[in-house]
Amino acid sequence: MNTKIGKVLVVDDDKDVLLAARLLLKKHAELVHTETNPEVIPSLLKNENYDIILLDMNFTADASSGQEGFFWLSKIFEIDSSAVVVVITAYGDVEMAVRAIKEGATDFVLKPWQNEKLLATLSAVMKLRTSRTEVNSLRLRQKQLSADLDQQFGNFIGVSSPMQKVFTTIQKVSQTDANVLILGENGTGKELVARELHRQSLRTNEVFISVDMGAISETLFESELFGHVKGAFTDAREDRAGRFEVASGGTLFLDEICNLPLPLQAKILTAIENHEVTRVGSNKPCKVNVRLICATNLNIHAMVEEQKFRQDLLYRINTVEIHLPPLRERDNDIPLLIDHFLSIYSKKYNKPHKRVSSASMEKLKKYQWPGNVRELQHAIERAIIMSDSKVLQPSDFLFPGKESKENGLVVDDYNIEGTEKILIRKALMKHSGNVSKAAHELGISRASLYRRLEKYGL
């Protein structure tokens, strides 16, 4: 017997049975407690966490019907709903044992028992106990992980009209199992919407599985989504469940759905329609029950017209569409988002809480934010790391690309010190070396500019 039996409680009014059990199990179990009086079961369970409880079904008060045994079986589950109980019955009482299993017992043994058979039964039951514990632990970890991920950004932030429409749609859709398609540019928060839909749904206590379709190589798509059996291909050394199976009962989020190759689009459609998947290398379908949420930053409707995306699949995944507005269309939300990220990253990097100057706020509100909320988040994080001041100035926010080119500034890379040096030289040239005017243009004090001039040898 390979499986080590944990803590065992044996309750039987026959002292000979208890002695035999103790002598046999002490070699194989971590702990063995025996008891003739079932009345002490509640106190025993309060003082010890038993892995297995062996419970006789007939005590002296009721020698044959098993009613006392069923009473204590029920009592055990009242105290500990996850208890693993193996009932002990006399030969010929199989019908009673079957009833006990229907009422929650894990297995039964007949007495007089065969030692090897009893040990084999307890070993199998212990494996089941361990599996249940692991599943519960994983479920709790998943729940905590999801909570932590959500807590990182808190609830959605936005008072703008476009975001209020998004909130309203989420509230209406979340309590249903309708498939949702989230459309929006990169960085607008599509996964946050998916998580919010899951959190407000009836599946909130089940798993949320996120799959980035753009990060999976085409050769692994089918295996990742539907799973495979051992030997299905060269590296398939064991059976493996795909994301559809893992997410069954919960929510499956397919991000960047437009990256799905056309042949696999047909298989996804079949899986959605039939509520089942077939692992690679197998002919046996497996039933799945997922709430499907998809997202893309591409024009999926144009892709349908170009025959790059199946129209029938689009109809299946977009029962409801949620359009996330880009940040440039909700600029009155920018101050709220800035305060939110300032709070998060000041705590994360153990820095005094910072604020942005009015000039910085104007600069941040005028910027077009091609990377949307994600770009704003990274800009605030970078400024908090790099700035020594409690007030973040415009020079703390450097945006390569369109804004820089419009101002005649060429940025060859994203090195902050190098870009700052270029900005200072440009401001001094513009104001013919006047430090006061250059400092005002840069949004910093004369003293700060002098420090930087000395730092860069300008």
The pLDDT of residue 433:
75
Instruction: List, by residue range, all CATH 3.40.50.300 domains of the chain.
Output: 168-324
Q: 385 pLDDT band (50/70/90 cuts)?
A: very high
* Burial class of residue 221, CB neighbours in 10 A (0-12, 13-18, 19+): buried
Which residue(s) pair with 109 in the sheet?
88
pLDDT of residue 408: 46
* CA distances to 75, 77, 341, 361, 410 from 335, in Å: 58, 54, 10, 7, 29
Domain with CATH 3.40.50.2300 in the chain: 5-132
DSSP E strands, 247-341: 251-255, 276-278, 285-287, 291-296, 320-323
What whole-number distance in Å separates Cα of residue 120 and Cα of residue 129? 14
pTM over 0.85: no
- CATH superfamily of the domain spanning 168-324: P-loop containing nucleotide triphosphate hydrolases (3.40.50.300)
SS3 label, residue 372: helix
Reference 153, options 194, 212, 209, 183; nearest CA is 194
Name the residue among 293, 71, 425 with its Cα closest to residue 435.
Answer: 425
The CA angle 254-217-213, to the nearest 5 degrees, is: 10
Q: What band does 402 get if pLDDT is binned at 50, 70 and 90?
A: very low
Whether the pLDDT of residue 136 is over 80: the answer is: no
User: Nearest 5°: CA angle at 367, between 362 and 370?
Assistant: 155
The strand ranges marked E within 194-318 are 208-212, 227-228, 240-241, 251-255, 276-278, 285-287, 291-296
In this predicted model, what pLDDT tens digit does every residue of 314-349 receive, in sequence order? 999 999 999 999 999 998 899 999 999 999 999 999
Positive or negative, the CA dihedral 387, 393, 399, 404 is: negative
Predicted local confidence at residue 407, as pLDDT:
47
- Within the chain, which residue ranges are assigned CATH 1.10.8.60? 329-456
CA distance 108 to 89: 7
Examine the pLDDT at 435 and tell me if it is beyond 60.
yes
Strongest mean pLDDT among 21-25, 233-237, 428-432: 21-25
pLDDT tens-digit series, residues 448-458: 787 788 777 67
Domain spanning 329-456, CATH architecture: Orthogonal Bundle (1.10)
Share of the chain above pLDDT 70, in %: 89
Q: What pLDDT digit, counting tens, does each position of 72-93 carry?
A: 999 998 888 888 999 988 766 7
Nearest in space to 179 (alpha carbons), one of 261, 272, 299: 272
Strand ranges, E, within 324-369: 355-356
CA–CA distance, 322 with 243 (Å, rounded to integer): 23
φ, ψ for residue 30 (rounded to 5)? -70, -35
Asked if 416 and 386 count as a contact pair (C-beta separation under 8 A), the reply is: yes
In the predicted model, what is the mean pLDDT of residues 85-106?
A: 85
Sequence-separated (6 or more) residues with CB below 8 Å from residue 59: 13, 38, 68, 69
The rounded distance, in Å, linking the Cα atoms of 19 and 345 is 64
Q: What is the pLDDT of residues 8-28, one digit of tens each?
A: 999 998 898 999 999 999 889
The CATH number corresponding to 5-132 among 3.40.50.2300, 3.30.70.20, 3.40.50.620, 3.40.50.720 equals 3.40.50.2300
